[in-house]
Homo-oligomer: A and B are copies of this chain.
């Protein structure tokens, strides 16, 4: 068995804590071990660990998430990176091709696709092994896990079985043949579906590797990893549901009875946040059922306001009625803003200040934190110059072709087109003032990433 974890999403529904580079699965808002906050992704990863499943897991993701994934799960996590963001079918196909053509995984091997943003109990993951047994026991194309509904939700998809009685393969494991799917029914219809033993679709799909490879052959798509990678830009963006699930002839589902939640809105997410105040601030006693998540350095005071979520990050501040919070995506539709906070392979940065002058000049002030032993790429910028003030830690600077030691209090002036890099000996913090005409993250030419390689450019 191999697992494909899908890490996607732009996270617009959890603005301002999520942005294009930090989707909801990365938000450190859940309570982990030792009262440390952890993200949904970290929770799922830990749960996989408890079930000995980490070593068979592959994360299908896009370029923009690589750094935060490595920073949250460690450097050894296996990533399959889409060159461009497409939909779930291409992402799953690329990972399948990798397993088939690079790792030489058998065509009979079971592949299980999992989302990384559902909130479940640990025993949900033991269901994966039961699903494997169900698939060995049947000739089904697809195997699913269906969650026993606890109320007639109008927000979820339902898996409808074709009989009320399941097939038991042993004392514990049971499965049903799937008749059809129904997406987001009205509450009344949902009630009837539950009476017919329908289950919630939680996005888990199991199939043999040959099933998807055959689908690719049928679609005249490459079945080699490198080949698909080359064509990736041009292939159709379609969902796995649409491309595969809806067309599969023999689908089985095994029921899971236990907690499962989609923490996709502030309303559902805050139900799982035990402490009402994360970050700096004050919440008065008469503010009931209110949650504050504050990632800014200044305090938030909530005085006598109940049933709201207040979330603040360098991107903005949300004050929303909990039930109304699902409308945030719609409200923010026409807002386009550069990310004000990002986690990177080498550390993280935060935008402190952003000025636009009428003559087209821009000024961006950032606080950059480079982790111990990490380095920025050897890079230069076309449209901006930078001034660095080292405020903490020590490291090595490369400016042009010259290497020198850098410590607290040092000031570095980097004109546009000047090549530069920095490596932190101890964790470093740098205040960076960018000035120029188009201050975007994309104005960067990377010449080398690896420090040993970068040193080759130095003449002194």
Contacts and interface: CB of A to CB of B under 8 A. Distances in A.
Given A303-B324, A305-B324, 10 more contacts: A297-B353, A299-B317, A303-B321, A305-B319, A310-B319, A317-B317, A352-B352, A353-B367, A355-B391, A389-B433
A430 to B, nearest CB: 10
B303 A331 contact: yes
B340 A319 contact: no
Given A303-B318, A316-B299, A320-B303, A385 B409 contact: yes
Closest 7 CB pairs of A and B: A304-B324, A303-B320, A304-B321, A352-B352, A363-B391, A389-B433, A299-B316
Most buried by B among A317, A323, A331, A413: A317
Contact of A301 (B328, B408, B413): B328
A365 B367 contact: yes
- Interface size of A as a range: 35 or more
A394 interface: no
Contact of A431 (B314, B363, B409): B363
B327 A431 contact: no
Most buried by B among A284, A296, A298, A312: A298
Contact of A303 (B327, B354, B387): B327
Interface of A: 15-16, 281-282, 284, 286, 296-305, 308, 310, 312, 314-321, 323-325, 327-328, 331-332, 335, 337, 340, 352-355, 357, 361, 363, 365, 367, 385, 387, 389, 391-392, 408-409, 411, 413, 429, 431, 433, 435
B297 A320 contact: no
Given A301-B328, A319-B308, A320-B302, A392 B355 contact: yes
A297 B362 CA distance: 14
A303 B319 contact: yes
A298 B321 contact: no
A17 to B, nearest CB: 12
Contacts of A16: 298, 301
B363 A365 contact: no
Contact of A320 (B305, B316, B389): B305
A301 to B, nearest CB: 5
A284 B429 contact: no
A212 B369 CA distance: 62
A120 to B, nearest CB: 28
7 contacts: A297-B354, A300-B319, A301-B320, A302-B320, A304-B323, A363-B429, A387-B387
A285 to B, nearest CB: 11
A392 to B, nearest CB: 6
A151 to B, nearest CB: 23
A300 B308 CA distance: 14
B335 A299 contact: yes
Contacts of A318: 300-301, 303
A328 B321 CA distance: 22
Nearest to A317: B300
A388 to B, nearest CB: 10
B300 A315 contact: no
A303 B325 contact: yes
A90 to B, nearest CB: 33
Contacts of A331: 282, 284, 301, 303
Contacts of A301: 15-16, 316-320, 328, 331-332
